[in-house]
Amino acid sequence: MARNGERDDPPRGLSRRAFLRGGAAAGVLGTGLLRGVPPAEPAAAAKTGAGAPIVGPGPVPMNFRINGKAVSARLEPRVTLLDALRTRFELTGAKKVCDRGTCGACTVLLGGKAVYACSILAIDAQDAEVETVESLGSVEKLHPLQAAFVENDAQQCGFCTPGFVVAAKALLDRNPAPTLAEVHHGLSGNFCRCGTYAGIRQAVLQVAQAAAADPGFAPGLPGAPGVKARKREDEAVDPGEKRKKKKKKRKGGGRHGRR
Ligand code: FES
Ligand code: FES
């Protein structure tokens, strides 16, 4: 029967009867295959030049350990760790801001190391523990770093804050008593467009100071005791300058000296 004006004639040079016979024979062969005639060997799984199996592009099963829990999902291999966390595991603490490894808003810990979750494929994050800001504290019981951020006015819009808190945790884990310069350097992979850097650095120094003052204080444990806020970095005085001022004061000189 013709469809759309096109004919479905048998191929040229073949009678209608011969064409139908051929079709029937092919049908019988196909049925034979279905009835258990062994099929041809399946094609071997594709491999890379280095011999690693190629997976995807469709979803493949993946297993993770996130915030102490074993979880799994079927994801396309192209999915980033950040998208997996936010869209599959409903962990939205890590923020998607630049999505290209520049701002640090998506910082999480992978095997204890601070990484940009937007720049790591989920499939590559299966072998190490993933820790997000959600693992640190809760609204009821803030982590000391989170409490120190609040105390030191270390956020405005708050978009960069989870990334900074996680980066600060990684810094204090590897260097519990950082200097101001080390805090600068340790947090240099995170940007705050609201410019709350002074408060952030002060919060980190405050927690480090509390940990040093109290041997039972552990920055990794929620609810650890805090200490009184120290002077903000922008108010901090150089120790040499401090000594000079004291000397002047003793002599009765200086702007605020006794007259
Ligand atoms: S969102 Fe990952 S670094 Fe900016
Ligand atoms: S508080 Fe707004 S970007 Fe840092």
For residue 151, is pLDDT > 60?
A: yes
- Say if residues 101 and 120 touch (Cβ distance below 8 Å): no
pLDDT at 218: 58
Alpha-carbon torsion, ordered 191, 193, 197, 199, to 10 deg: -130
Report the side by side order of strands in the sheet with 107-110: 69-75, 60-66, 129-131, 107-110, 113-116
∠ CA(85), CA(90), CA(94), 5° rounding? 50
Nearest residue (CA) to ligand 2, atom 4: 192
DSSP bridge partners of 60: 75
Best residue for ligand 2 mutational test, from 106, 152, 159 (most atoms within 8 Å of Cβ): 159
Residue 158 CA: nearest ligand 2 atom is 1
- Say if residues 136 and 143 touch (Cβ distance below 8 Å): yes
Q: Could you tell me the distance, in angstroms and rounded to a whole number, from the CA of residue 4 to the centre of ligand 1? A: 54
For residue 234, is pLDDT > 80?
A: no
Greatest mean pLDDT among 23-27, 193-197, 232-236 lies in 193-197
Q: Could you tell me the distance, in angstroms and rounded to a whole number, from the CA of residue 98 to the centre of ligand 2? A: 13
Instruction: For each of the domains in the chain, give its residue range(s) and CATH number, in order of start.
Output: 60-135 (3.10.20.30), 144-239 (1.10.150.120)
For residue 146, is pLDDT > 70?
A: yes
Best residue for ligand 2 mutational test, from 107, 152, 196 (most atoms within 8 Å of Cβ): 196
Residue 156 CA: nearest ligand 2 atom is 1
> Between 155 and 53, where is the model more confident?
155
Proximal ligand: closest to the CA of 104: 1
- pLDDT tens profile 167-185: 999 999 999 999 999 999 9
> Between 7 and 156, where is the model more confident?
156
For residue 24, is pLDDT > 70?
A: no
CA atoms within 13 A on the CB side of 102: 5
Give residue ranges with CB within 6 A of ligand 2.
Answer: 155-161, 192-194, 196
Give me 175's structure tokens: 């260097």
Q: How confident is the model at residue 145 (pLDDT cuts 50, 70, 90)?
A: very high
For residue 239, is pLDDT > 70?
A: no
Can you tell me the mean pLDDT for 237-243? 50
Can you tell me the mean pLDDT for 206-211? 94
Residue 155 CA: nearest ligand 2 atom is 1
Q: Which of 91, 94, 34, 37 minimizes the C-alpha distance to 66?
A: 91
> Between 233 and 69, where is the model more confident?
69
Can you tell me the mean pLDDT for 48-53? 77
pTM for the complete prediction? 0.69
The structure tokens 């803030």 sit at: 142
pLDDT at 244: 60
Q: How confident is the model at residue 225 (pLDDT cuts 50, 70, 90)?
A: very low
Inter-residue long-range contacts of 6-13, CB under 8 Å, 24+ positions, other chains counted: none
> Between 251 and 81, where is the model more confident?
81
Among 82-96, 105-119, 222-236, 244-258, which stretch is predicted with the lowest mean pLDDT?
Answer: 222-236
Give the list of residues 6+ apart from residue 146 with CB closer than 8 angstroms, or none: 136, 137, 165
Q: How confident is the model at residue 220 (pLDDT cuts 50, 70, 90)?
A: low
Report how far residue 214's alpha carbon sits from residue 18's, in angstroms, rounded to the nearest whole number: 95
Q: Could you tell me the distance, in angstroms and rounded to a whole number, from the CA of residue 95 to the centre of ligand 1? A: 7
Cα torsion 58, 60, 65, 71: sign: positive
Can you tell me the mean pLDDT for 106-134? 97
Inter-residue long-range contacts of 137-142, CB under 8 Å, 24+ positions, other chains counted: 137/222, 137/223, 138/222, 141/222, 141/223, 142/222, 142/223
> Between 99 and 33, where is the model more confident?
99
pLDDT at 48: 72
Q: Which of 142, 139, 130 minimizes the C-alpha distance to 66?
A: 130
Best residue for ligand 1 mutational test, from 86, 116, 120, 190 (most atoms within 8 Å of Cβ): 116
> Between 116 and 20, where is the model more confident?
116
Q: Could you tell me the distance, in angstroms and rounded to a whole number, from the CA of residue 195 to the centre of ligand 2? A: 7
Q: Could you tell me the distance, in angstroms and rounded to a whole number, from the CA of residue 205 to the centre of ligand 2? A: 19
Give residue ranges with CB within 6 A of ligand 1.
Answer: 96-99, 101-106, 116, 118
Q: Could you tell me the distance, in angstroms and rounded to a whole number, from the CA of residue 51 to the centre of ligand 1? A: 32
Report how far residue 167's alpha carbon sits from residue 187's, in angstroms, rounded to the nearest whole number: 6
Can you tell me the mean pLDDT for 115-144? 96
